[in-house]
């Protein structure tokens, strides 16, 4: 088909654009946020909540990181990163003025509009709150369009609670039901202790009329989706953000395949109903 | 004025019980209130009751040398606290400290055990509900044990730091 | 599908017409290609195999050679005649040229504050592929969909593809591991070429039946002495193809194949094949549709210059599915299952066709002779009906 050949002159998706670090904030002992301004092209692409960029550190490598900022503000570009490997470790040493390469945005989005006139339940675990923060910003900006909004967040311990100040502000000023729990704590913590799934019965929402967005370690997402399902939220109304090894982010290197899906293109956000057959198969 | 039976009947744990059984249970129950940092019970004490939490938050904790008090989990509104009354030696395994002021129904374990001994159908009804709670709590505890938010142990091919 | 966007003036011989070129005139074809600036790539004998490399003359072709292929076995043997194309496919496929094993994507140069990116200029190389089999044409079309059919394109691939001239050939014999007939990808070449040939050795005559596929093909043929094909010559050529189709090395039953495999992801056969598979990745290297690559960022020792390169990768490597902490597919079983279910099942979900063209290379070049048609058969024969899942929930 000649239409296939016509694509030969499309822009090269493997070329990074350069961004400069405007600000760096330490969030937790192993997690930090970078705010980036464009260096090359001032026209920054818009992004949708749930999407990610490939971030490149000169001479070190490139990794996929979800966008964690406000989708209504194109700049600065905000990424919250956990130091888990060579590239993220190099990134946490970058200070203001230093340059990164950025490719993207890529991937599917959290379907926030599906929750208009419905209840919205956001369940996050650990670093999973970062890819969901754009949803919360978007929801706060148009609060009246939603029914009840709940943010349920689980972290390892009180010192691992991400965006702690914002969580507090969302609870007190945002009109959101925000509940935080940790897996372990000492006696000085007066909040909830226990897995995040135990928070689900504690917030009011109408399961038949709810959109649930879940992000965190895969085990946590699986059990959370299962619990939500048990309470009557349909599989098509529960969404998860999957993670796999990504190299190209444009569905051409094959690394991120998960069953029939390319996580970089068909995901990372998937409805639970699309994944149910795969989630319980080991090593698929 | 709500009777204890009325309160219990509204609670998800008891709502599917036969009203007659609810009355039997209510006969073993009293209202209880606890203030901030008060203990409902302490580790090692005689365990002869359990609590249906109507309001507030309780931390189940244990002491570890050097670490101080460790919170195992919190039991909150709508949840049932305590099952050590079910089996000998009837001793609490953990302490329960109030984080947010608690209003609860306190149920006498010995009283319930005695009624269950006499009426096995009643006994079965209670035991099956408690079994469900224990299973749910066990599943949740297992997830806690998995420590899912921690970084995987090093030993894979990736060399970091 | 036309392979070339050229709107060049059509020669007097139109698209779809068939002509005969005598063996003695065959070298004129190579000349016609080279005078137009094409580098002619075709089969040659090297390292005891027939591989694809640059041809400087017709004598570089494996004249009088054939191949004997079986699971885990490949040998060359002399033919009784002097056929130029009397063999099936070897370990190379055209993806070596269209989707090269190593490509530099861009260079980075350190600057005072940061770095700059220097994109790699696209090659001006124009290849003419001589001897492209029907299965290979389908494989090229499949890779077109991967690199040019999605939301993002590979511009390097697009350029190489647009500049390539394809001279296809109808196979004169089926290889020992071939099953293109089962996959609906051959042996007859029906589209996607500039010129196609059928080699005929018959009653002392040695000639080629050419079919014109595009305006470029017509233009090239105009420089090669040819006659209009007579009925008996057309018949002889058709007979060659029919014979090939009737002697396939094996078959693969594709009925309901997608669902058969996807509802049997826990079938014990996967454990069985894992006891044989070495996860060496040969199958992915020789497969003409396998496209997986990895991207590497490297610097010089001083840290002043960086480059990003893309090179072939294989889903059989232990690192392929690595995310922080470990590989998702750590076992050989999981990796073999991934490869086979991708090739025969999930490729449909992704690209609308099978990923397999029945060329048989994976069977021939597997050191332990694992046969994808046999693995499919084993699952089909012992699995529950696709409507029921064979695994416990």
Clarify whether residues C219 and C321 are in a common domain.
no
Alpha helices in chain C (DSSP H): 26-35, 95-98, 134-148, 155-163, 180-183, 215-221, 231-246, 257-262, 268-276, 282-286, 332-341, 347-351, 361-365, 372-382
DSSP B91: B
**What is the Cα–Cα distance from C51 to C93, expressed in whole angstroms?**
8
Backbone angles phi, psi at A96, to 5 degrees: -55, 140
Side-chain-side CA neighbours of C338 within 13 Å: the count stands at 31
pLDDT grade, residue C390 (50/70/90)?
A: very low
Q: What is the mean pLDDT of residues C123-150?
A: 95
State the pLDDT at residue C9: 41
Using N-to-C axis directions, what is the helix angle for A218-230 and B120-146, rounded to 10°? 150
Q: CA-CA distances (angstroms) from residue C111 to A98, C45, C114, C298? A: 11, 48, 5, 17
Q: Give the domain range for residue C42.
A: 18-102+121-246
Is C325–B152 a contact, with Cβ atoms under 8 angstroms apart?
yes
- Percent of chain C predicted with pLDDT > 70: 94
Closest CA to C264 of C92, C382, C128: C382
Is the backbone peptide bond immediately before A55 cis, with ω within 30 degrees of 0?
no
Q: How far is A10 from chain B (nearest CA, A)?
A: 35
Q: List chains touching C (3+ CB pairs under 8 A).
A: A, B
Residue C357, in any domain of the structure? yes
- The model's pTM is 0.91
Clarify whether residues C193 and C332 are in a common domain.
no
Residue C79, in any domain of the structure? yes
Q: How far is B30 from chain A (nearest CA, A)?
A: 25
pLDDT at C2 over 80: no
Q: Given C292, C303, C313, which is nearest A59 (Cβ)?
A: C303
Clarify whether residues C271 and C190 are in a common domain.
no
Residue C302, in any domain of the structure? no
Residue C387, in any domain of the structure? no
State the pLDDT at residue C107: 95
3-state secondary structure of A116: coil
Contacts of B160 in chain A (CB under 8 A): 84-86, 89
Is B152–C324 a contact, with Cβ atoms under 8 angstroms apart?
yes
Q: Name every residue whose Cβ is closer than 8 Å to that of residue C9 and which is 6 or more positions away in sequence.
A: C215
Clarify whether residues C162 and C280 are in a common domain.
no
Clarify whether residues C282 and C172 are in a common domain.
no
Q: CA-CA distances (angstroms) from residue C221 to A152, C4, C12, C212, C237? A: 71, 15, 10, 8, 18
A47's tokens: 């992004």
Structural domains of chain A ordered from first start: 2-106 (2.40.30.10)
Q: Name every residue whose Cβ is closer than 8 Å to that of residue B32 and which is 6 or more positions away in sequence.
A: B51, B102, B103, B104, B105, B106
What is the CA C378 to chain-centroid distance, rounded? 26
Q: What is the mean pLDDT of residues A222-228?
A: 96
Over residues A135-189, the pLDDT tens digits come to: 999 999 999 999 999 999 999 999 999 999 999 999 999 889 999 999 999 889 9
Over residues C255-312, the pLDDT tens digits come to: 999 999 999 999 999 999 999 999 999 999 999 999 999 999 999 988 899 999 999 9
Please give the tally of structural domains in chain C.
2
Which of B155, B156, B158, B159 is the mutation pick for testing C, counting most C CBs within 10 A? Answer: B156
**What is the Cα–Cα distance from B23 to A9, expressed in whole angstroms?**
79
**What is the Cα–Cα distance from B117 to B110, expressed in whole angstroms?**
10
Q: List chains touching B (3+ CB pairs under 8 A).
A: A, C
Over residues C202-222, the pLDDT tens digits come to: 989 999 999 999 999 999 999
Q: What is the mean pLDDT of residues A214-229?
A: 96
Termini Cα distance of chain B: 64
Contacts of A244 in chain C (CB under 8 A): 321, 323, 328
ipTM above 0.85, yes or no: yes
CATH architecture of B31-146: Sandwich (2.60)
Q: How far is C329 from chain B (nearest CA, A)?
A: 13
Matching residue, tokens 């969580």: A167
State the pLDDT at residue A7: 63
Clarify whether residues C199 and C279 are in a common domain.
no
Neighbours of A195 (CB within 10 A): 26
Closest CA to C130 of C80, C219, C61, C82: C61
Over residues A23-61, the pLDDT tens digits come to: 999 999 999 999 999 998 888 899 999 999 999 999 999
State the pLDDT at residue A9: 61
Clarify whether residues C218 and C271 are in a common domain.
no
Nearest-Cα residue of chain C relative to residue B160: C324
C326's tokens: 């470990």
Clarify whether residues C194 and C268 are in a common domain.
no
3-state secondary structure of A120: strand
Clarify whether residues C181 and C40 are in a common domain.
yes
């Amino acid at each position: 088909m000649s239409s296939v050949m016509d694509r030969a002159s499309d822009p090269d998706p493997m070329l990074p654009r350069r961004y400069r670090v405007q600000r760096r904030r330490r969030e937790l002992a192993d997690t930090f946020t970078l705010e980036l301004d464009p260096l090359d092209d001032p026209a920054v692409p818009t992004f949708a909540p749930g999407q990610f960029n490939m971030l490149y550190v000169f001479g070190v490598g490139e990794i996929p990181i979800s966008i964690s900022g406000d989708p209504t503000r194109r700049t600065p570009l905000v990424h919250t990163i956990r130091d888990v490997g060579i590239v993220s470790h190099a990134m946490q040493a970058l200070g203001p003025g230093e340059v990164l390469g950025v490719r993207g945005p890529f991937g599917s989005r959290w379907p926030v509009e599906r929750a208009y006139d419905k209840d919205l339940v956001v369940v996050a675990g650990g670093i999973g709150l970062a890819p969901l923060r754009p949803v919360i910003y978007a929801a706060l900006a148009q609060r009246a369009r939603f029914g009840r909004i709940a943010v349920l967040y689980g972290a390892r311990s009180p010192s691992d609670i991400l965006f702690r100040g914002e969580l507090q502000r969302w609870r007190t000023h945002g009109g959101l039901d925000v509940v935080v729990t940790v897996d372990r704590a000492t006696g000085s913590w007066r909040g909830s202790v226990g897995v995040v799934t135990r928070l689900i019965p504690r917030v009011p929402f109408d399961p038949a009329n709810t959109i649930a967005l879940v992000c965190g370690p895969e085990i946590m997402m699986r059990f959370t989706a299962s619990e939500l399902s048990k309470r009557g939220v349909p599989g098509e109304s529960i969404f998860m953000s999957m993670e796999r090894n990504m190299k190209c982010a444009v569905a051409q290197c094959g690394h991120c395949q998960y069953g029939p899906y390319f996580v970089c293109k068909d995901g990372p956000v998937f409805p639970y109903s699309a994944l149910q057959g795969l989630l319980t198969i080991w090593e698929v | 004025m709500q009777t204890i039976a009325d309160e219990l009947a509204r609670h998800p744990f008891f709502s599917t019980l036969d009203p007659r059984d609810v009355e039997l249970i209510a006969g073993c129950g009293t209202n209880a209130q606890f203030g901030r940092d008060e203990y409902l019970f302490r580790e090692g004490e005689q365990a002869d009751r359990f609590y249906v939490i109507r309001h507030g938050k309780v931390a189940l904790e244990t002491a570890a040398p050097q670490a101080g008090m460790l919170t195992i989990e919190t039991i909150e509104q709508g949840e049932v606290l305590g099952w050590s009354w079910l089996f000998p030696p009837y001793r609490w395994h953990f302490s329960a400290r109030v984080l947010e002021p608690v209003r609860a129904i306190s149920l006498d374990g010995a009283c319930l055990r005695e009624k269950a001994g006499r009426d096995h159908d009643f006994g079965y009804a209670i035991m099956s509900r408690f079994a469900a709670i224990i299973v749910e709590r066990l599943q949740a505890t297992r997830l806690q044990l998995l420590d899912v938010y921690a970084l995987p142990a090093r030993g894979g091919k990736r060399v970091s730091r | 599908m036309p392979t070339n966007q050229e709107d060049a003036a059509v020669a007097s011989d139109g698209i779809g017409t068939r002509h005969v070129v005598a063996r003695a005139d065959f070298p004129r074809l190579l000349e016609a290609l080279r005078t137009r600036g094409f580098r002619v790539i075709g089969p040659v004998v090297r390292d005891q195999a027939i591989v694809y490399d640059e041809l400087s003359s017709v004598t570089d072709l494996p004249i009088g050679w054939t191949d004997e292929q079986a699971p885990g076995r490949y040998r060359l043997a002399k033919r009784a005649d002097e056929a130029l194309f009397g063999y099936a496919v070897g370990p190379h496929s055209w993806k070596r040229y269209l989707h090269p094993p190593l490509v530099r994507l861009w260079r980075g140069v350190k600057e005072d504050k940061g770095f700059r990116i220097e994109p790699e200029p696209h090659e001006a190389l124009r290849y003419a592929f001589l001897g492209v089999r029907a299965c290979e044409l389908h494989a090229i079309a499949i890779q077109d969909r991967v690199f040019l059919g999605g939301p993002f394109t590979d511009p390097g691939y697009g350029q190489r593809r647009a500049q390539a001239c394809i001279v296809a050939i109808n196979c004169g014999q089926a290889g020992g591991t071939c099953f293109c007939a089962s996959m609906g990808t051959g042996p007859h070449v029906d589209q996607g070429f500039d010129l196609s040939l059928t080699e005929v050795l018959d009653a002392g005559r040695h000639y080629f039946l050419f079919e014109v596929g595009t305006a470029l093909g017509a233009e090239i043929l105009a420089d090669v002495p040819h006659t209009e094909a007579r009925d008996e010559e057309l018949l002889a050529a058709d007979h060659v193809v029919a014979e090939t189709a009737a002697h396939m090395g094996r078959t693969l039953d594709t009925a309901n194949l997608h669902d058969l495999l996807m509802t049997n992801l826990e079938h014990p056969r996967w454990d069985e094949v894992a006891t044989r598979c070495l996860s060496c990745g040969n199958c992915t290297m020789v497969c003409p549709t396998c496209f997986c690559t990895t991207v590497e960022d490297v610097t010089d020792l001083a840290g002043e210059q960086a480059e990003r390169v893309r090179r072939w990768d294989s889903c059989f490597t232990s690192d392929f599915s690595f995310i922080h902490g470990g590989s998702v597919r750590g076992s050989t079983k999981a990796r073999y299952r991934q490869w086979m279910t991708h090739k025969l099942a999930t490729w449909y979900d992704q690209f609308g066709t099978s990923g397999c063209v029945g060329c048989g290379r994976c069977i021939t070049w597997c050191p332990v002779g694992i046969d994808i048609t046999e693995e499919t058969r084993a699952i089909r024969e012992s699995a529950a009906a696709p409507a029921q899942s064979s695994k416990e929930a």
